[in-house]
Amino acid sequence: MPVNMDEIVAIDIHTHAEEPCDTCRDDGYNEFQAGMARYFKNPAGVEGMLPTIEQTAEYYRERKIAAVIFPVDAERETGFRRYHNEEVAQIAAANDDILIPFASIDPHKGKMGVREVRRLVRDFGIKGFKFHPTFQGFYPNDRMAYGMYEAIQDEGAIALFHTGQTGVGSGMRGGMGMRLKYSNPMYLDDVAVDFPDLKIIAAHPSFPWQEEALSVAMHKPNVYIDLSGWSPKYFPKILVQYANSMLRKKMLFGSDWPAITPDRWLSDFDKAEFKEDVKPLILKENARRLLEM
C-alpha cells in the first residue's frame, strides 16, 4: 500500500541505504564507516551505522515518518561497489507504506547512466536521484553530467545534491581523496539555469557556503534546501531566519539517517527557533508538494 500522506507525521527527504548489497564488504569500507561514525559521534558506532533497508523501514514505520531512501554510486572514486539501484527499489516497493525510493548513478557513466535513469523511473518507480559531487569527484555544472540531468528532468524526477563539507573521509589520511571544492552550492545555479524544469534539492546546511545556498534557492524557483546532516541546534542563524521567512516553502526535513537519527533531529528541531506555522511546512507539506504525493 503506497504511503498514506494523511497518516504520516513527517517526510524525511534524506536517508541512506548503507549496508552493501554484496555478502562481503570491499577493502577499506569498514575504515570509511568508522571515520563516519567518529565524525557524527554516532553512539551506535560502525555497526549501528549500517542498518539494512528493511531495518530502516521498521524504524520509520514505528514513528509514522515516510523516508526517501537512496544509495550513493561512487565506485569510480572509491572502489566500493555500489548498492544496486534495482535492489533498493525492490525492497522499497515491498515497504511502500513508508519508503520512497531514490537512486544514484555516477554521472561519469555517460550514456549508460542516461539509459539507466529512464529505465529506473519507468520500470522501478524511482522518484529521484542522489548526487554527491565530492564523493563522485565532479563539479555539478560539468556538462559531462548534463545528459543525465536532461533525462531526470524529462522523466519528472528530482535531483538531490550533497552540498558543503562532508563526513566522507573526514579525519582520514588525505581526506580519503575527497575534495570539498566540488560541493559548493553555487555550481547548482548553472544547473538550475540550464534545466529550469528540473526539481533540485541542495542537501544540508552548506558549510562554509551557507549564504551561497540561500541565494541560489532564493533566486531559482526550482531549487530547494534540505536540512539534513546537522542537528538543528547547530544551524546558522541566517538559515533559520530564511526558513522562517522567504524560504519557508522551500525548506525540507532531512535527517541523514543513519548518521543522524530522526529522534535526535526532531528533538532538537522542536527546541530551535522555528515559527510554529513554519514547522509543518518543513516537516511534511513542502516535501509532499515537491514529491507530488
Q: ∠ CA 238-239-245 to the nearest 5 degrees?
A: 90
Q: Is the pLDDT of residue 53 over 70?
A: yes
Q: What is the CA radius of gyration of the chain?
A: 17
- Residues 211-235, mean pLDDT to the nearest whole number: 97
Q: What's the pLDDT score for residue 24? A: 52
Dist CA 237 CA 220 (whole Å):
22
| Rounded mean pLDDT, 191-206 | 98
Using the predicted structure, report yes or no on whether residue 256 has a pLDDT greater than 90.
Answer: yes
Give the model's confidence band at 150: pLDDT under 50 very low, under 70 low, under 90 confident, else very high: very high
Least confident segment among 75-79, 97-101, 225-229, 236-240: 75-79
Hey, what's the cell of 286? 513542502
Q: Check residue 78 and give its pLDDT.
A: 75
Q: 104-130 as b/e, with b when 16 or more CB fall inside 10 Å?
A: bbbbbbeeebbebbeebbeebebbbbb
Taking residues 79-101, report their average pLDDT.
91
**Can you tell me the mean pLDDT for 135-141?**
95
Determine what percent of the chain is predicted with pLDDT higher than 70: 86
Cβ atoms of 92 and 100 within 8 Å: the answer is: yes
Q: Which of 13-17, 168-172, 205-209 has the lowest mean pLDDT?
A: 168-172
pLDDT grade, residue 129 (50/70/90)?
very high
For residue 9, pLDDT over 60 is answered with yes
pLDDT band at 262 (very low <50, low <70, confident <90, very high): very high
What are 29's three cell numbers? 569500507
Q: Tell me what pLDDT residue 23 has.
A: 46
pLDDT at 157: 98
Average pLDDT score over residue span 152-160: 98
